[in-house]
Amino acid sequence: MIHPRNNVSDKSDSYNPRRDLDKSQLFFCLFYPDDTEYNADDTLDLIATGCVEYAYILHDKDGVKPHYHVYCKTAQAMSIESFAKHFHTRLYPFVEYALKKDKCIKYLRHLEKFNDGDGDYKYPPDEVFSNFDVSRYWEDFDTTEGIYINEFFNVALNYVDAYGSKCPLSVLFRYAQDQDEDKRYKMIGCLARRSYFFKTILDQIWAVRYENTPLDWSKLI
């Protein structure tokens, strides 16, 4: 969702992206909305006014403490230390250089992984806020069928966590049958056309959750 942050103040001591232009630098950072050493909204405002690009999301369905992930692009190259100094020194341990922009943007919705321990919940596109069009990075996933796959994935994940057993394919069919008429037939058709794919998804979810097997992400997207 293109969403320039509103009512941001133009702070004189914040980083000025139009000063001393050299080359852009990409960063990816994490911070917590309830951290008492800084205000999360103020930090987002500083990033919004001090970066030429930004995209962020609140991850609150990962089974861990809610946290923000923020991709941002500064107009000039700078070190991580300088970035933290401009935006908040408390961020220093949670900032890294972003080597691949597309991977960062996909990670915001968990369509891409950085580590095996990363959350599995697939976040919807309207939970990502940015000042540029990020949708093109998700085009392959956000087809109608891709949206259904995402929905089935979360159903299976919730089943495994709730019952501690592998989710059978029949659970996905029952979920599809509970939808309204138009969506019901489309979802059942998606399951029927890609039954082997969905069996692979169910195997992967179970393996990651209870067998400590690394996620083979290539089989899921």
Query: Between 86 and 51, whose confidence is greater?
Result: 51
Domain of 66 in residue numbering reads as: 25-138
Domain boundary among 82, 116, 138: 138
DSSP 48-64: HHH-SEEEEEEE-SSSS
Domain boundary among 96, 112, 138: 138
Claim to verify: residue 31 and residue 126 sit in the same structural domain: yes
Calculate the average pLDDT of the chain: 79
Let me know if residue 18 belongs to a domain. Answer: no
Cα 27 to Cα 59, 77, 123, 128, 149: the distances in Å are 18, 10, 21, 17, 30
Domain boundary among 105, 138, 171: 138
Compute the distance between CA of residue 46 and CA of residue 166 in angstroms, rounded to an integer: 45
Compute the distance between CA of residue 93 and CA of residue 97 in angstroms, rounded to an integer: 12
Claim to verify: residue 159 and residue 210 sit in the same structural domain: yes
Q: How far apart are the first and last CA of the chain?
A: 22
Average the pLDDT over 17-39 and give the result. Answer: 75
Claim to verify: residue 109 and residue 164 sit in the same structural domain: no
Tell me the pLDDT band of 140, cut-offs 50, 70 and 90: low
Claim to verify: residue 70 and residue 50 sit in the same structural domain: yes
The total of structural domains in the chain comes to 2
pLDDT of residue 9: 34
What is the b/e burial string over 146-157, where b = at least 16 CB atoms within 10 angstroms of the residue's CB?
Answer: bbbbbbbbbbbb
Claim to verify: residue 194 and residue 114 sit in the same structural domain: no
Claim to verify: residue 201 and residue 103 sit in the same structural domain: no
| pLDDT above 80: residue 72 | yes
Query: Between 183 and 143, whose confidence is greater?
Result: 183
pLDDT in tens, 162-178: 888 888 889 999 999 99
